[in-house]
Amino acid sequence: MHTGSVRFIIEGLSLERLINQCVAHGIMLESVVRPGVRSICATVSSADYPIIRDFASSQGWMISVRRITGWPSIRMFAWRRAALVTGVIVFLALAWYTCNCIWSIQIYNAGPYIGEVRGVLRERDVRIGRFGMWIDVEDLRVALERRLTGLSWVSVSKDGVRLKVYCVVGTPGVAGGGDASPGDIVAARDGIIESVRVAAGTAAVKQGEAVRKGQMLIKGEERTWQNETNAVKARGEVIARVWYTADAIIPANELITVPTGNAAERKVYVTPWLEWSPDSVPAFEKMDVSVRTLPIGAVLPLWARLESYEEVTFEERVRDEASLQAEAALAALRLAREEAGLDKPIVDKWVEYSMMGDGMKAHVTLELTEDIATALD
């Protein structure tokens, strides 16, 4: 491969003969100057230089290279600085590799399925540090859709070093009750009607009436002046008193760890591919472990993980009843609030306690008013 040029100086007598020989062989000379009476300096393509060197050796002229440009000079530079060039190539290869790895996995709107989504990702070895080109997003999407039937829609995409999993949790349909038909409005849950406001259709319930989930509240039909019935899509608001319940059981005994006083530290150097530590894991039977991670590789994916080990023993302790009840009530209340919706005002609440085997059970009932009307279509 000769795509460069060579500037040479040739010394001897009758150097015009060299120019004529070059011309006769079709060699293009450039920037021909005479620095002295017995020397000529010129530039030729690197492909023609060996021919001129042969002329010089046959005529007894002394030839020497002044400068090489183009690809041959790059090749010489690479040959002389092999370690530097190798380092640059390795750095670029590593940079390219790290830029093509997955460094963040983001799961959106998976709701209660987030653990299962993570499980499917784990099964398919989709993890941080995995080379992105080896992850088949379409295959992953199909696997998520097949495994998680509770999701109505899944999308998996790679965005640079991020893997994004978008989910939509499926909403179960409302079971129709009695003679309800599409276009009617039914009760989303059990309750006692507080008020009915009909925008379209005919009210099927009245204030103070107890309704069951799925019962028709507003019928999707209206009567005309001629006593004819027209089918309409029912619309309206049905406010009812509803109740949400939740249970929480807190164990009566608690297991606590008591430090024995023995402690150790361990430093682990971590890359996405391997881990190395100069220290071994301490041989404690039971221990508390705390971990701190420090990035030490600047732009390279290298971390130092500082692990602190503290030997402990387990002791079981019986908790007092008041704190048990308080904790169980708080947990049950939180569950009930999550089910009811955190933004809704609570009208009333009850908490009942009972001992269940080894734990304290709290049963919370929340009363609140809300619109229970839901379309049946």
**What tokens appear for 10 in the block?**
């040739």
CA-to-CA separations, 271 to 267, 295, 302, in angstroms, rounded? 13, 10, 5
User: How far, in Å, CA of 53 to CA of 25, rounded?
Assistant: 13
The answer to whether residue 40 forms part of the interface with another protein (CB under 8 A) is yes
* Smallest distance from another protein to CB 79, Å: 31
Q: Which of 7, 11, 29, 344 binds another protein (CB under 8 A)?
A: 29
Long-range contacts of 76-84 (CB under 8 A, 24+ apart): none
The one segment of 37-45, 128-136, 310-318, 354-362 that binds another protein by CB under 8 A? 37-45
29-37, 195-203, 250-258, 275-283 -> range binding another protein (CB under 8 A): 29-37
Task: Return the number of the residue (28 or 94) whose C-beta is nearest another protein.
Answer: 28
Which residues 111-170 are close enough to bind another protein by CB under 8 A?
A: none
Stretch that binds another protein, among 14-22, 48-56, 104-112, 120-128 (CB under 8 A): 14-22
Of 10, 22, 156, 234, the one binding another protein (CB under 8 A) is 22
Q: Looking at 1, 24, 83, 322, which residue binds another protein (CB under 8 A)?
A: 24
- Count residues near another protein (CB under 8 A): 18
Q: How far is the CB of 138 from another protein (least distance, A)?
A: 60
Quick one: CA torsion of 70, 72, 76, 81, rounded to 10 degrees? 50
Q: Which of 171, 376, 346, 343 is nearest to 242 (CA)?
A: 346
Stretch touching another protein by CB under 8 A, among 23-31, 108-116, 196-204, 359-367: 23-31
Which range in 22-30, 120-128, 151-159, 254-262 contacts another protein by CB under 8 A? Answer: 22-30
If one asks whether residue 10 binds another protein (CB under 8 A), the answer comes out as no
Contact between 33 and 8 under an 8 Å Cβ cutoff? The reply is: no
Q: For another protein, which residue of 3, 13, 28, 348 counts as binding (CB under 8 A)?
A: 28
- Say how far apart CA 51 and CA 247 lie, in whole Å: 96
Largest CA distance in the chain: 127
For 320, the 3-state DSSP assignment is coil
Residue in this structure with the two tokens 């100086």, named with its chain if needed: 9
In the window 70-109, what residues touch another protein (CB under 8 A)? none
Work out the burial of residue 219: count CB atoms within 10 Å of its CB; fewer than 13 is exposed, 13-18 middle, 19 or more buried.
buried
Looking up tokens 């040029």, which residue turns up?
5
State yes or no: residue 20 binds another protein (CB under 8 A).
yes
Does 51 participate in binding another protein (rule CB under 8 A)?
A: no
Cα distance between the two ends of the chain? 74
Residue 325 to residue 62: CA distance in whole angstroms:
104
Pick one of 6, 10, 15, 143: the residue that binds another protein (CB under 8 A): 15
Instruction: Return the residue of 33, 89, 142, 300 that touches another protein, per CB under 8 A.
Output: 33
CB 165 within 8 A of CB 203: no
- Rg from Cα positions in the chain: 41
Rounded to the nearest 10°, the torsion over CA 25, 28, 34, 39 is -40
Question: Could you tell me the smallest distance in angstroms from the CB atom of residue 27 to another protein?
Answer: 8
Closer to another protein at the Cβ: 69 or 202? Answer: 69
Does 30 participate in binding another protein (rule CB under 8 A)?
yes
Binding residue for another protein, selected from 32, 249, 264, 331, defined by CB under 8 A: 32
Between 32 and 326, whose beta carbon lies closer to another protein? 32
In whole angstroms, give the CA distance from residue 15 to residue 59.
10
Number of neighbours of residue 329 by Cβ within 10 angstroms: 20
Stretch that binds another protein, among 31-39, 66-74, 239-247, 299-307 (CB under 8 A): 31-39
For another protein, the closer of residues 20 and 229 by Cβ is: 20
Which residues of the shown chain bind another protein in the complex (CB under 8 A)?
Answer: 15-16, 19-20, 22-24, 26, 28-34, 37, 40, 42
